[in-house]
């Protein structure tokens, strides 16, 4: 059995508000991410999906339990983990060229090696020729591709995606899903995606984890047995895709109804 590249062991996360209030976000979450596996996390709004991703990335420490990266406790941001966030316009520095923005992800490399890695990363997301442009000169989809290039330029073991396509239109979203899927197929990184879009989770993933309402736990795990490589035109038309999407959506709706039921009875 292959050892996981990332593992949650009974992780709980509790946040303290400015007024001193205690908010238990997650409770007893255990999960694994194998090398080169693509896993998505979905759940009702407010379930703490982004908080879990930030914990997985080392940006937040768990209150209980532990997170392991390559078999060792993760206590801080580590080389080998890259994150792409939802708001691409906040991920890129507007005063730096696209080349220099992407180079920020390879600061530990020697200058000559860094330049080669940046060019390769930009080519992988179809942005060759835009090196000297600035973020504000590019469309939203192109800016998010630049953010992807910056995340991948360091050749990470794990790529984490926090609602990375939520700020673009539906057509661009589909194109970006295919960019990520193609990069994952051709590379060696594992990926952990947080998304509200159930179809997106099914389309990209090997497994989909469904969170319960707060304090969240893993409510269900759905294996995605769709053939690869995948494409928007053919994969989403498969009967099995439609079945899996409906199955995951029903689980998310069940979790959401439990929240509404608790509110009504309170």
Give the tens place of pLDDT for each residue, 201-225. 999 999 999 999 989 999 999 999 9
> Residue 20, Cβ neighbours under 10 Å: how many?
6
- Would you place residue 87 in the very low, low, confident or very high pLDDT band (cuts 50, 70, 90)? confident
Please, which residues have CB within 8 angstroms of residue 96's CB and are 6 or more apart in sequence? 104, 134
Fold annotation for 6-196: Rossmann fold (3.40.50)
Q: What is the DSSP letter of 132?
A: T
Whose structure tokens read 């050892």? 3
Q: Map out the domains of the chain as residue ranges.
A: 6-196
Q: In this model, does residue 35 exceed pLDDT 60?
A: yes
Phi first, then psi, for residue 126 (nearest 5°) are 60, 45
Q: How many CB atoms lie within 10 A of CB 93?
A: 12
> How far is CA 238 from each of CA 13, 36, 201, rounded to the nearest angstrom?
38, 24, 15
Q: Which run of H or of E encompasses 84?
A: strand 81-84
Q: Output the pLDDT for position 265.
A: 44
Q: What is the pLDDT of residues 66-79, one digit of tens each?
A: 999 999 999 898 89
CB 38 within 8 A of CB 182: no
Q: What is the pTM of this model?
A: 0.92
Look at the alpha carbons of 134, 140, 145, 150 in this order and tell me if their dihedral is positive or negative: positive
């Amino acid at each position: 059995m292959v050892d996981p590249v990332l593992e949650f062991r009974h992780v709980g996360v509790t946040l303290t508000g400015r007024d001193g209030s205690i908010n238990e976000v997650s409770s007893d979450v255990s999960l694994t991410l194998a090398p080169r596996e693509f896993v998505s996390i979905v759940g009702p709004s407010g379930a703490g999906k982004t908080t879990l991703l930030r914990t997985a990335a080392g940006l937040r420490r768990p209150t209980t339990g532990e997170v392991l990266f390559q078999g060792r406790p993760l206590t801080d941001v580590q080389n080998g983990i890259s994150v792409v966030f939802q708001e691409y316009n906040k991920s890129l520095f507007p005063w730096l060229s696209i080349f220099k923005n992407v180079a920020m992800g390879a600061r530990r490399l020697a200058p000559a090696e860094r330049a080669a890695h940046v060019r390769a990363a930009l080519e992988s997301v179809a942005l060759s020729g835009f090196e000297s442009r600035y973020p504000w000169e590019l469309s939203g989809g192109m800016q998010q591709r630049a953010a992807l290039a910056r995340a991948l330029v360091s050749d990470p073991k794990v790529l984490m995606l926090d609602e990375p396509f939520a700020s673009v239109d539906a057509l661009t979203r589909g194109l970006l899903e295919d960019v990520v899927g193609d990069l994952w197929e051709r590379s060696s990184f594992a990926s952990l995606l947080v998304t509200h879009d159930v179809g997106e989770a099914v389309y990209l993933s090997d497994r989909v984890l469904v969170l319960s309402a707060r304090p969240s736990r893993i409510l269900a795990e759905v294996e995605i047995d769709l053939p690869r490589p995948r494409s928007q035109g053919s994969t989403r038309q498969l009967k099995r895709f439609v079945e899996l999407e409906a199955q995951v959506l029903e689980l998310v709706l069940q979790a959401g109804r439990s929240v509404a039921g608790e509110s009504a009875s309170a």
